[in-house]
């Protein structure tokens, strides 16, 4: 049986903090020990804060540009301009993941440099401290094509399978599954967000009962990202139309 609970007692994180030590102290103070097979879902904000990934809010637009490797769509609206881009981590989303919510006044946060490596370090610290086998998922909030609202997804991971490949296995009726690959990393992240909540000061959740997903050789979060070469919708609709129109004119000329 799966259960999910938020880990209380983690203080405001600042640059230079030892995140593993802060989480370990919170575990001890709650009196609820980590168990073999637990998975910790950790919001990327506290990882970024601990790693000093902070810039002045006045530099936000430049920070977005610096983090961007490909522009997908740009839209002007009454409050300014929204850019949907692929960032240097391969994640497609708004503003390259540069975030101004739940940050100190006058600053914005960049995503961790390497969320998988951050998850590795945190897992190693906690496994060494408590003597149990764990998984760690670093989460962030993304919008979704064709759907309203946002959801938490996995942008980093260590020791846990994030994409479960069921191709070739039989379904409940014995039929072969040909394309089924649940994004369990994103499912873990979204389940954890239900108990962490956005403004409750609970940046870490423990997901219990999914020990079968633990794997020391599991790939990191890039396994969840579709490459632009296989993305049918790699451009926004306006951008795709403009590109096609320009190509058509060039062919006629």
User: Domains of the chain: which residue ranges?
Assistant: 1-51+183-218, 54-111+231-253
According to CATH, the superfamily of the domain at 1-51+183-218 is CofE-like (3.30.1330.100)
Share of the chain above pLDDT 90, in %: 68
CA angle 21, 100, 75 (to 5 degrees): 140
Question: Which tokens hold the place of 170?
Answer: 């039989």
Which pLDDT band holds residue 198 (cuts at 50, 70, 90)? Answer: confident
Helix and strand totals (H; E) in the chain = 6, 10
Strand partners, 55: 108
Q: What is the mean pLDDT of the chain?
A: 91
Sign of the CA dihedral with 97 first, then 75, 92, and 40 last = positive
pLDDT of residue 177: 60
Local structure of 63: helix, strand or coil = helix
CATH no. of 54-111+231-253: 3.90.1660
At 19, the pLDDT band (50, 70, 90 cuts) reads very high
Token code pair at residue 249: 């004119």
Residue 168 is predicted with a pLDDT of: 62
Question: CB-based burial of residue 208 (10 Å sphere; 0-12 exposed, 13-18 middle, 19+ buried)?
Answer: middle
8 Å CB contact between 84 and 92: yes
Residues in a beta bridge with 153: 140
């Amino acid at each position: 049986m799966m259960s999910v609970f938020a880990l209380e007692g983690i203080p405001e994180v600042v640059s230079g903090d030892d995140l593993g030590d802060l989480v370990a102290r919170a575990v001890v103070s709650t009196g609820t020990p980590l168990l073999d097979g637990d998975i910790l879902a950790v919001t990327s904000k506290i990882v970024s804060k601990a790693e000093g990934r902070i810039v002045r809010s006045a530099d936000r637009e430049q920070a977005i540009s610096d983090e961007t490797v490909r522009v997908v769509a740009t839209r002007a609206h009454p409050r300014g301009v929204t850019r949907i881009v692929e960032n240097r981590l391969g994640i497609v989303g708004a503003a390259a993941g540069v975030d101004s919510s739940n940050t100190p006044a006058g600053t914005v946060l960049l995503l961790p440099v390497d969320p998988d490596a951050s998850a590795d370090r945190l897992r190693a610290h906690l496994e060494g401290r408590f003597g149990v086998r764990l998984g760690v998922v670093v989460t962030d909030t993304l919008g979704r094509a064709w759907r309203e609202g946002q959801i938490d997804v996995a942008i980093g991971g260590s020791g846990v399978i994030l994409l479960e490949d069921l191709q070739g296995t039989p379904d409940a009726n014995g039929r072969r599954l040909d394309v089924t690959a649940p994004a369990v990393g994103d499912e873990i992240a979204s389940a954890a967000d239900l108990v962490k909540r956005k403004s409750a000061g609970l940046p870490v959740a423990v997901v219990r009962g999914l020990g079968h997903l633990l794997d020391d050789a599991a790939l990191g979060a890039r396994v969840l990202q579709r490459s632009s070469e296989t993305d049918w919708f790699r451009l926004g609709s306006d951008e795709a139309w403009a590109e096609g129109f320009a190509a058509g004119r060039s062919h006629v000329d």
